Amino acid sequence: MKRKIYQELINWKDTNMQKPLMIIGARQIGKTYIINEFCKNEFEEYVYINLLEHSEIIKIFKEEISTSEKFKRMKIYLDKDINLQNTIIFFDEIQESEELISSLKYFNESEEPFKIICAGSLLGVKLKRLHSSFPVGKVKMLNMYPMDFEEFLIANGNQGLMDEIKNCYNHITPMDSVLHNKALELYKLYLCVGGMPEAIKNLLENNKDILKFDKSIIEDIYQSYLNDMNKYVDNKFEASKIESIYKSIPSQLGNQSNKFQYGKISSNARKRNYETALNWLLSSTMVHKCPILNKVEIPPLGFIIEDHFKLYLSDVGILLNMLQVKYNDIILDNLLQYKGIIAENYVATQLIANQNPLIYWESGNKAEVDFILYNNDGIIPIEVKANDNVVSRSLNVYMKRYNPKYAIRISSKNFGYKNNIKSIPLYAVFCIK
C-alpha cells in the first residue's frame, strides 16, 4: 500500500544519504514494509539485517574493536561482499544493539559511501534510555504513524475522490452531495478499522464489508502493545503503571475536567509516581500529548503548560477496540457522548500525521477549543464536531477575545465559509497542514 513517507525516503536518497536514516514509530504501522519497498525499488543491491534474527551481529558490535573492524566481521558473518557504492543496508530492530546505534556516527563520518537505514520496535523508548551516547546530528530521523485518511482513500482506490476533497478544501467550495455522503461513509469505515495497514488490508479483502472484517487483528495489535510494556521496561511494577495509564485513556477522554487526571488511574495515583511511565508511553508514540495553551501568542509552543494536558491514542481503531464499540453503532450513528470523543481522537491522529503539534485552549471551565493550529495565517482555532450540529459557544468566545484571521470548524457538514469560520468535513482533516 502506498505511504506518503515514501517521498521523504526519496528526498533522503536525493540528498546523498551521508547521514544514516532512522524511522521511528509504533509497532505494526508498516515501517518494515515501506522501507523494504523503498530499498528494493530504488537501489541495485539491498541487504536486510533483522537483529532479532542475528544475535551474533549484536555480539560483534559489543566487541572492543574499531567500527570498521566490526563492519568487516559482520560481512564475513553474513558471507556477503557488500559493494557500498550500489548497496543500501537496512538494520531492522536496531533497538537490540546500543552499540550499533552509537556506530551510526562512524557510518556518517566515514569516507566510504555507506547508505544506512534503520528502524525498530519502540525505538523512541530505547533512544530515551540509552546507556551509551547517541550520535546527535549524525542521524536523520523521521517519524512514521499509522495510515491517515488520505492513505486510506488511496488504498481503497479512491484517488478521484481524494483529489476532489483536496480541490474543495483549497477553494472552500461545497462538494457534490453524493460525493460528500460517500466520503462520510468511508470516514466511518476508517473509524472502525483505524490506520493499521493489516486492518485496512483485511477490510479491502472483504470488499469493505465491515461485518466481515476480522476485528481480532486490532485486538492482537492491542495485546502486542501491552506485551511490549512488559518486555521493554526495567521491572514489572513500572510495566503495571504504563499499562494502567494506557488503559485509562478512553475514559480520560470523557473527563468533564477536559484534561488527563492521575487520580482517574487510581485513587492514590500521583504525578511523581507515574511520570516515568507516562514518558515511556509518549516515547513509544502509542499515545500523543496535547498540552493546554497558557497564552494565545506567537509562538504557541512557547506558551503551553506541560502539566495540563490531554492524551490521545495513536490509532482510532485501537480506541474503538478498547471501548468495545459495535461497528454498526458507528455506521448507524448510534453513539452520543463518545461520538464526539472518537471524532476528536481521530482529528488528533490526522493532525499529528501532518506534523502538526497538538495544543488546545481553555478559558477556565467556561470555554474550550479542541486544537490550536499555528500556520502562515497566525494562530488558528480548530473546533471538532462529530455531526452537523455546529453551534459552538466556546469557539465564539475565542474568536471575540482573540480575533483570529479565521477559525476552522470540523464536522459532518460540507465545505463552506461563513462568519469567518471555515467549515471542513471530517473526511478532509488530512488536508490541514
Q: What is the pLDDT of residue 35?
A: 98
What pLDDT score does 49 carry?
97
- How confident is the model over 323-338, as pLDDT tens digits? 999 999 999 988 888 8
Query: What grid cell was written down for 35?
Result: 522501507
Averaged over 361-374, what is the pLDDT?
Answer: 89
> Any alpha helices (H) in 52-138, and if so which ranges?
55-62, 67-78, 98-109, 123-128
Tell which residue, 393, 387, 413, has the closest CA to residue 335.
Answer: 387
Q: Let me know if residue 203 belongs to a domain.
A: no
Q: Give the residue-averaged pLDDT of 4-28.
A: 95
Is 205 inside any structural domain?
A: no
**Residue 73's pLDDT band (boundaries 50, 70, 90)?**
very high
What is the rounded average pLDDT for all residues in the chain? 94
What is the predicted pLDDT for the residue at 123?
87
* Residue pair 321/314 in contact by the 8 Å Cβ criterion: no
Please report the pLDDT score of residue 19 as a whole number: 96
Q: Could you give the CA distance from residue 416 to residue 326 in angstroms, rounded to a whole number?
A: 32
- In a shared domain, residues 139 and 221: no
The verdict on 125 and 240 lying in the same domain is: no
Neighbours of 14 (CB within 10 A): 8
Q: What is the pLDDT of residue 1?
A: 84
Total domains present in the chain: 2
Report residue 96's pLDDT band, with 50, 70 and 90 as the boundaries: very high
Q: Identify the pLDDT of residue 230.
A: 86
Are 115 and 264 members of one domain? no
In this structure, are 256 and 132 located in the same domain?
no
Q: Are residues 426 and 280 located together in one domain of the fold?
A: yes
- With bands split at pLDDT 50, 70 and 90, how would you rate the model's confidence at 307? very high
- Amino acid 272: pLDDT: 86
Of 116, 143, 170, which closes a domain? Answer: 143
pLDDT 10s digits, 52-65: 999 999 999 999 99
221 plus 138 within the same structural domain: no
- Is there a domain that residue 197 lies in? no
Supply the range of the domain harboring residue 256. Answer: 216-431
Q: Which of 98-107, 121-130, 244-253 has the lowest mean pLDDT?
A: 121-130
What per-residue confidence (pLDDT) applies to 135?
Answer: 84
Is position 344 within any domain? yes
Q: Residue 43's Cα: distance from chain center in Å?
A: 28
Do residues 320 and 192 touch, judged by C-beta distance below 8 A?
Answer: yes
Residues 91 and 229 in one domain: no
pLDDT band at 255; cut points 50, 70, 90: confident
- Segment (H or E) for 380: strand 378-384
Helices 67-78 and 98-109, axial angle in degrees (round to 10): 110
* Average pLDDT rounded to a whole number, residues 180-196: 97
Same domain, 226 and 122: no
- Is the confidence at residue 78, as pLDDT, over 90? yes
User: What's the pLDDT tens digit per position in 381-404?
Assistant: 999 999 888 788 899 999 999 999
Domain with residue 87: its CATH number is: 3.40.50.300
Handedness of CA 29, 307, 358, 215 (dihedral sign): positive
Asked whether residue 40 is assigned to any structural domain, the reply reads: yes
| Residue 401 pLDDT | 94
Within-domain flag for 192? no
Whether 225 maps to a domain, the answer reads: yes
Beta-strand ranges (E) seen in 12-148 are 21-24, 45-50, 87-92, 116-119, 140-143
Mean pLDDT of 289-316: 96
Name the pairing type of β-strands 378-384 and 367-369: unpaired
Among the candidates 143, 173, 199, a domain finishes at 143
Q: Which of 97, 116, 143 is the last residue of a domain?
A: 143
State whether 262 and 396 are in the same domain: yes
Q: What is the pLDDT of residue 367?
A: 80
Q: Of 270, 249, 274, 273, which Cα lies nearest the Cα of 260?
A: 249
Query: In this predicted structure, what is the pLDDT of residue 433?
Result: 87
User: Which of 254-258, 265-269, 272-276, 350-354 shows the highest mean pLDDT?
Assistant: 350-354
**In the chain, what percentage of residues exceed pLDDT 70?**
100
Three-class SS string for 289-335?
EEEEECCCCCCHHHHEEEEEEEEEECCHHHHHHHHCCCHHHHHCCCC
If asked whether residues 123 and 227 sit together in one domain, one would say no
Residue 77 lies in a domain: yes
The pLDDT confidence band at residue 260, using thresholds 50, 70 and 90, is very high
Q: Residues 127, 222: one domain?
A: no
Same domain, yes or no: 119 and 27: yes
